[in-house]
Amino acid sequence: MAAPQFPINPGDYMLYPNYPGTDSPALSSIPYLIPPYVLNRFYPNTIQVAINNVFGANFANSNQLCPPAQFPQTDFVFTWNNTVAQVLIQPTNVWQVNPTARQTLANSFAMFCTWLDCLESQGCLARGGALVISQRVAQAMPLSISETLAYFYGFNSQSGYIDIQPGMRLRVEFESYDFVSNINPNLNSFVGNGASYYYVCSQLSSAGVPVLAFDAFMGANRPPAVFRTSAGAGGIIDLQAKGNQRRYYRLFYPTNMGSSTVTPSISTTQNPTLIGANTLADLAAATKQYLQNGTCPAGTTTLCTFFNGRAAVIPEVLVNIGGIQSGVQNFNGQPIYVPIGTTLRNLVERMATLPGNTGNILIQRLFTATQPGGGNDPAPIQQQPQYQQAEFIPTKVQGMPFTLDVFDLPIAKGDIFSLIGLPLQ
């Protein structure tokens, strides 16, 4: 087993081109993002994560209300240390790079998130605690850069869906059908009709249950009753109507969409579709049905809607771009929304050309995971939220297949990015 190259500064993130897992001599052909302290303090053993301030009124009854046997503890073990939630990420799969181990870890994580959802619904976790824990656990794991969006946002590019989370912005690019002639139908087509922006946030429903809102005012206001039709949603008023409040929403893209010259399709099978549910178990069942036949479950627990016309729905997150800096190591940058899927390469391309002389790239990501306690204290220490710089490991093994490189790192919400020392032209 070849040991990986350790970071110069253990507090840095690492972008590792050919990360060697514990299943060496295998090397990953896809770069890995290694969190701070993980290699120096945990490799190749259990990763410990502690999360404060997520306990609910019934936290002492967690094992009775939601038995841990509901998720594979070969990958994740959950315990309470007084009122501090502790997750042990077992070394079985997390340190390996082979596809089977990575898929097993992803499946275990999905089941673990469903179990956390049960804890929150039973009052064992505080409002929003399930998402906080899942994000902290994902943040503490070595992940290939092609996995990060799946763990952070539930993004599945192969099946075409992503989870909508508080803090995202939905950009909806509308098209309207322009009827010109009965004689020459080729003149009739969809045309661009502007864009709308929906700022997703969390709210409490009238029953005191946390739900998603597509606008803070619309979520806080009394929701209007809107007569539902089979024509889908025309805008935010349809999404935020009475009876549409759900704890989770997932955005799906269909396998096929009609061309710009056909009449509108009024169905979930050919339009971007939002599916809402109050539990992750219901959302998983609805996901399975939609992927099989493009339809949504009947009933009142799961909500299914699409945008009529011919719309594109694009989730965006807020990041900070510092532009071109000279000798500046700490900066706040300018906030800008970017579509999920935007990479470090895409941001560099706005200011320079890759490959080439791009100066020193500085990317900082918020870190709130943990490191082990000192001395004889086995309890992990909660890190204060702070930005940590990413350290680039430039080595690329000759003969490895050309796939992704470190510049293909997907940007996450809150990242700070800049080019340092690039000569001004």
Q: Give one DSSP letter per residue of 218-277, joined into a string.
A: HHHSPPPP----TT-B-SHHHHTSTT---SEEEEE--S----TTSPPP-STTSS-EEEEE
How do residues 161-205 score in pLDDT, each as one tens digit? 999 999 999 999 887 767 676 666 677 777 777 899 999 999 988
Q: How confident is the model at residue 378 (pLDDT cuts 50, 70, 90)?
A: low
Rounded Cα distance between 284 and 298, Å, is 14
Q: How confident is the model at residue 380 (pLDDT cuts 50, 70, 90)?
A: low
- Given a cut of 60, whether residue 250 has pLDDT beyond it is yes
**Structure-model confidence comparison of residues 69 and 317, the more confident one:** 317
**Structure-model confidence comparison of residues 240 and 401, the more confident one:** 240
**Listed ranges 45-49, 253-257, 401-405; the one with the highest mean pLDDT:** 45-49
Average pLDDT of 291-319?
A: 87
With 0-12 CB in 10 A as exposed, 13-18 as middle and 19+ as buried, what is 54? buried
**Structure-model confidence comparison of residues 185 and 131, the more confident one:** 131
Q: How confident is the model at residue 101 (pLDDT cuts 50, 70, 90)?
A: very high
Q: How confident is the model at residue 158 (pLDDT cuts 50, 70, 90)?
A: very high
Which pLDDT score is estimated for 363?
A: 85
**Of the candidate ranges 45-59, 235-249, 392-406, the one whose mean pLDDT is the lowest:** 392-406
- Given a cut of 50, whether residue 355 has pLDDT beyond it is yes
Cα 146-404-13 angle, rounded to 5 deg? 65
**Structure-model confidence comparison of residues 268 and 358, the more confident one:** 268
Nearest in space to 279 (alpha carbons), one of 305, 250, 300, 248: 248
Q: How confident is the model at residue 400 (pLDDT cuts 50, 70, 90)?
A: low
Which pLDDT score is estimated for 401?
A: 66
Considering the chain, what is the average pLDDT of its residues?
A: 85
Which pLDDT score is estimated for 194?
A: 82
Which pLDDT score is estimated for 184?
A: 65
**Of the candidate ranges 60-64, 330-334, 421-425, the one whose mean pLDDT is the lowest:** 421-425
Rounded Cα distance between 195 and 185, Å, is 27
**Structure-model confidence comparison of residues 116 and 296, the more confident one:** 116
Cis omega (within 30 of 0) for bond into 25: yes
Query: Token pair for residue 303?
Result: 């909500």
Rounded Cα distance between 71 and 109, Å, is 8
Q: How confident is the model at residue 222 (pLDDT cuts 50, 70, 90)?
A: confident
Phi and psi for 336 in degrees, rounded to 5? -150, 140
Q: How confident is the model at residue 17 (pLDDT cuts 50, 70, 90)?
A: confident
Q: What is the pTM of this model?
A: 0.90
Is 189 in a helix, a strand, or coil?
A: strand
**Percent with pLDDT over 70 in the chain:** 82
Which pLDDT score is estimated for 118?
A: 95
**Of the candidate ranges 238-242, 316-320, 339-343, the one whose mean pLDDT is the lowest:** 238-242
- Given a cut of 90, whether residue 106 has pLDDT beyond it is yes
Rounded Cα distance between 252 and 273, Å, is 5
Nearest in space to 408 (alpha carbons), one of 28, 30, 131, 2: 30
- Given a cut of 90, whether residue 267 has pLDDT beyond it is no
CB atoms within 10 A of CB 146: 18
- The distance between the two most distant Cα atoms of the chain, rounded to a whole number of Å, is 85
**Structure-model confidence comparison of residues 194 and 412, the more confident one:** 412
Is 370 in a helix, a strand, or coil?
A: strand
**Structure-model confidence comparison of residues 424 and 422, the more confident one:** 422
Give me the DSSP letters along 389-423.
EEEE-----TT------GGGPBP-TT-EEEEESPP
Which pLDDT score is estimated for 399?
A: 63
**Of the candidate ranges 65-69, 155-159, 309-313, the one whose mean pLDDT is the lowest:** 309-313
Which pLDDT score is estimated for 375?
A: 44
Task: Classify strands 189-199 and 334-339 as parallel, antiparallel or unpaired.
Answer: unpaired
**Listed ranges 22-31, 242-251, 289-298, 316-325; the one with the highest mean pLDDT:** 242-251
Please report which helix (H) or strand (E) contains residue 202, including its range.
strand 201-204
Average pLDDT of 331-351?
A: 86
- Given a cut of 60, whether residue 325 has pLDDT beyond it is no
